[in-house]
Structure 1
Amino acid sequence: MTRILKLYSNGEWVDSSNPIKQDILNPANQEIIAKAPEATKEETEEAIKAAKSVFESGIWSECTPLERANVLLQIADMMEDNMNELVALEVENNGKTKREAESDASDAADAFRYYAGLLSNTSGQTYEASYDLQTMIIKEPMGVAGLIVPWNFPLLMSVWKIAPALAAGNSIILKPAEITPMTAVKLFELMDQTDLPKGVAHLLMGSGSIVGQTISESNDVDVVSFTGSTEVGRNIMQAATGNLKKISLELGGKSPNIIFEDADFDTAVDHALFGIFMGSGQVCTSGSRILVQEGIYEEFIKKYVEIVKGINVGPGNDENSEMGAIVSEKHMESILEYIRIGKEEGARLAFGGNRIVQDGMEKGFFIEPTVFADVTSDMRIVKEEIFGPVVVIQKFKDEAEAIKLANDTEFGLAGAVFSSDQNKAMRVIKKVRAGITWVNTYHLTNVQAPWGGYKHSGIGRSLGTYGLDEYQETKQINISMDPKPIQWFK
């Protein structure tokens, strides 16, 4: 039976006054799994007002760090107790493989535990500015946090924003992507069973043009954190100028993966596969540009394509699937259009390029893992983010050219270097203009490390202590240890 979803506002599950419902599909077979409400501008404004009122009441914002930490741990416990359902919903709604969904859900629970632990070790700074003046530096919650998340990691991206925002003492409004709300709904059902005060957290489904725009423009929202496309990020920046609210943007990428001749060949090939085809390439940090030194260029392509041909593409709930569905028909068509453009531009199609419509996948949104070689920097498939299982392989001569090609992009989210020469690897990775980088590995990271990019890949950082800072104000308090008249004016 198709599930009818509701909004969660001011501590209650409520229907939207908008009669329009969004069909939520399983991208592996196009079955309608739910119908989601489309919150109105007025409902969004009401949620913001309620969130602000609860923040000002101090029922959460004035809790001790330990009290907030205990609630975060309750949420983590609830997630772990309901892990199988969270994984199943993520697979069904997003199309990713079960293995990927399990990793995401586990990391999400860990994020709540991390920020709970961070709260139990809070510290500030003090300065003795002079013999009679003591200065304290403290952190305070900002107020109402608007959290706007993408469809590629519906659960994990939600938690990456919710956990630090709540840890800091803010009220929150989460807007999930229109097509992937299922795990966010389940997460809020679980949060509703904890000691989190009613009205602190709100869940609003709906369009970016209404819900997202209202959140971004509102003078009662103090910080907006957005993960998604660079184009939408620019719109949010413009909308946020009304009250000069703080913004955090994690945007697009076209990340270089540099492979030198002296790299461990099999390791480099393996990580280059994982770097792009994990998540069906629908990952902001995907290593979608592989730069290979000329001495091993053809050998690399041969070995790479040989393995790509054996990648098992299929429904995410199939234990044998190594790469799942594309999230929607619209996005699938966009990827296929880029493949057509790549052919037209003269790139060599080494493998793939087609929609998969056999073996029971004819109703799903599946694309072959696709490899283009002999590309040049002026090609659109090299310059623009495709956000799918499409990789371009480019040849370079030496270290200087590798760095030049790596940085020849408007983006700066991620990048990697593979070399057995650690000195060279460090020289090169330091010159790659990107915020998340690797040496002799790809994608592996942890909740303690900051996440974000340079250039058009965004502003601010998620995760780690940096992620908590995004949701806090910094205040100085100056205390006179010897109160007396200044006698400036006599």
Structure 2
Amino acid sequence: MQDQDVQPFLIGAEWTRGEGTPFESRNPATGALNGLIGAASAADVDRAVATARAAQAEPAWRDMLPHKRAAILRRLADLIEADAEWLARRQMQENGKRLQECRDQALAGANAYRYFAGICEVMPSEVAPARGNHLSLVVYEPFGVVAAITPWNSPLTLESQKVAAALAAGNAVVLKPSEFTPGPALRVAALALQAGLPPGILNVVTGLGLETGGALVAHPDVRLISFTGGTATGKAIARAAAQRMAAVALELGGKSPHIVFADADLDKALDGVLHGVFSSTGQSCIAGTRLFVERGVYDAFVARLVARTRELKVGLPDDPATQVSPLSSFIHRDKVESMVAMAAEDGGRILAGGTRPADPALAGGAFFLPTIVAGLANDARLCQQEVFGPVLCVLPFDDEADLLRQANGTAFGLAAGIWTASMPRAWRVARALEAGTIWINTYKELSVSVPFGGFKESGSGREKGFYGIRTYQEPKTVMWGLA
């Protein structure tokens, strides 16, 4: 194997294949090899963190005036937008997401840089009310080196949201993308240098989670770890960070309740439920995977839902007619299949899907049919564990008390959806639900301008929104005596 056969990663201004064993990237829609990716060893990670620390200590970035830092972020946004088609197709080839959704996410990633560039220019420091003969100032300082660790389901948006905010706050970043989707991060890192970002302020290390990610989490010079991914991994990161009192921002798993009251516009609710769980092939932390329907309309609504689900077009991600594309990998497809089998063992009835598609044209990919499971109690394993695939549990409820007991009866608390014509009911239920984002008469509407994060085991801290930049800064009080 020649060096030129391996995609290198970026440390400072140097592209290197690293000391680790290169790994494969495969297209989950076809099984074809995308290429070999260089793997960062612990020594490579140490060099990346040292490079980031040295670059962040230099005034070229740390002391750069906010409007000049914002100008670089805006140039990077323009370059991402100009390169959006390449980025979209690369993400599609690596995680199987529908091409149109990848295109939308590429543009959303560019807009995240624009958003945080704008905040960078207007984010104020504070003068606190004095309690004596002094001036009380609150200023905000960057942490220094931030480790950003991202998942495979939506790298174009998730990486942009983390990196843009961390850079706008004045930090240097070492980004570790998922081993399944390294391509977008590497391309954006090259564009960042082209935009004028000082070398070493954004570094990308590729590799497997335990080796590369583990070394990054354990590194003593990483002051903040920003992680999006599974709850079990998030807990392990939190434990490792606690050993050296490093800060963490964790956006973890979900088992979001999607609620339909009898007085709702049931046609719109049906569209919302389908979109909420089966878009992105269910590979979304906010997917509405537990559907609660008021008992009076439960049978009729679920029957319509099953019929619509069976009509969904499962196909290749670059086919414009496709509504459900493959899962991100064959390993993940196997996990989803095993969890559906587990549900059947627990007494669940498969109302739709539950198998791979029969179409021979899809036999080479990691496809799984959109699936609906009924007959389980809310405490069943499938209703409590995150599947991260196109699998929906349907459950009836009798009244608000019954609903809230079930909806909040999970370790997760990331998102929830409510469909009702009653404004008072919508407000009561929204306030009572234990989740970081609540949608009313809509679902999965996303914006970089509002905070995002979870309650309970769905994470800690918030990203996005005006104060999302504060996640990547530490407040400092300066008391100036006037006596």
Shift of 1:106: 1.4
Mean Cα deviation higher: 106-115 or 57-66: 57-66
Q: 2:430 is matched with which residue? A: 429
CA deviations over 1:72-106 (Å, ceiling 9, x no partner): 10110001111111111111111010121122111
Mean Cα deviation higher: 407-416 or 59-68: 59-68
Q: 1:300 is matched with which residue? A: 301
Shift of 1:107: 1.1
SS in 2 for 1:145: strand
Aligned residues of 1:312 and 1:321 also touching (Cα < 8 A): yes
Alignment partners' CA distance in 2, 1:449 and 1:122: 15
Query: Which amino acid is 2:7 matched to?
Result: L
Q: 1:485 is matched with which residue? A: none
**In the TM superposition, what are the counterparts of 1:25-424 in structure 2 within 5 Å?**
25-130=26-131, 132-424=133-425
Shift of 1:44: 0.3
Could you tell me which of 8, 11, 17 is aligned with 1:9?
A: 11
Mean Cα deviation higher: 212-221 or 387-396: 212-221
Aligned residues of 1:357 and 1:363 also touching (Cα < 8 A): no
Shift of 1:429: 1.1
Unmatched segments (≥5 aa) in structure 2: none
Query: Which amino acid is 2:126 matched to?
Result: Q
Alignment partners' CA distance in 1, 2:75 and 2:128: 37
Alignment partners' CA distance in 2, 1:34 and 1:436: 38
Alignment partners' CA distance in 1, 2:19 and 2:132: 62
Shift of 1:328: 0.6
Aligned residues of 2:145 and 2:223 also touching (Cα < 8 A): yes
Query: Which amino acid is 1:449 matched to?
Result: V
CA deviations over 1:92-132 (Å, ceiling 9, x no partner): 11101012112211111111000011112121211341563
Shift of 1:454: 0.4
Unmatched segments (≥5 aa) in structure 1: 483-490
Shift of 1:155: 1.4
Alignment partners' CA distance in 2, 1:440 and 1:401: 20
CA RMSD of aligned residues (A): 1.2
Aligned residues of 2:138 and 2:477 also touching (Cα < 8 A): yes
Alignment partners' CA distance in 2, 1:423 and 1:186: 48
Aligned residues of 2:91 and 2:156 also touching (Cα < 8 A): yes
> CA 1:451 to 1:3, structure 2 compared with 1: closer, same or farther past 3 Å?
farther
Shift of 1:359: 4.1
SS in 1 for 2:273: helix
Alignment partners' CA distance in 2, 1:224 and 1:125: 26
Q: 1:477 is matched with which residue? A: 478
Aligned residues of 1:3 and 1:33 also touching (Cα < 8 A): no
CA deviations over 1:404-452 (Å, ceiling 9, x no partner): 1100100000111110001101101110100011111100021110110
Mean Cα deviation higher: 128-137 or 302-311: 128-137
CA deviations over 1:373-418 (Å, ceiling 9, x no partner): 2221221111111110000000000111111110010000011111
Shift of 1:15: 2.0
Shift of 1:453: 0.2
Aligned residues of 1:434 and 1:453 also touching (Cα < 8 A): yes
Query: Which amino acid is 1:109 matched to?
Result: A
Shift of 1:171: 0.5
Aligned residues of 1:219 and 1:242 also touching (Cα < 8 A): no
Shift of 1:342: 1.2
Query: Which amino acid is 2:309 matched to?
Result: V
> CA 1:3 to 1:315, structure 2 compared with 1: closer, same or farther past 3 Å?
farther
Alignment partners' CA distance in 1, 2:173 and 2:273: 38
Query: Which amino acid is 2:208 matched to?
Result: S
Alignment partners' CA distance in 2, 1:466 and 1:225: 15
Alignment partners' CA distance in 2, 1:359 and 1:467: 46
Shift of 1:58: 2.4
Aligned residues of 1:374 and 1:395 also touching (Cα < 8 A): no
CA deviations over 1:215-254 (Å, ceiling 9, x no partner): 2111101100000011001110111123201100001100
Alignment partners' CA distance in 2, 1:185 and 1:232: 23
CA deviations over 1:262-283 (Å, ceiling 9, x no partner): 0100011110000000100000
CA deviations over 1:170-198 (Å, ceiling 9, x no partner): 00000000111111111112112111001
Alignment partners' CA distance in 1, 2:163 and 2:395: 39
Aligned residues of 2:17 and 2:37 also touching (Cα < 8 A): no
Q: 1:488 is matched with which residue? A: none
SS in 2 for 1:360: helix
Alignment partners' CA distance in 2, 1:3 and 1:322: 35
Aligned residues of 1:345 and 1:379 also touching (Cα < 8 A): yes
SS in 1 for 2:164: helix
Mean Cα deviation higher: 356-365 or 220-229: 356-365
Query: Which amino acid is 1:5 matched to?
Result: Q
Shift of 1:35: 0.7
SS in 1 for 2:362: coil
Shift of 1:210: 1.7
Aligned residues of 1:213 and 1:239 also touching (Cα < 8 A): no
SS in 2 for 1:192: helix
SS in 1 for 2:60: coil
> Is 1:457 aligned with 2:458?
yes
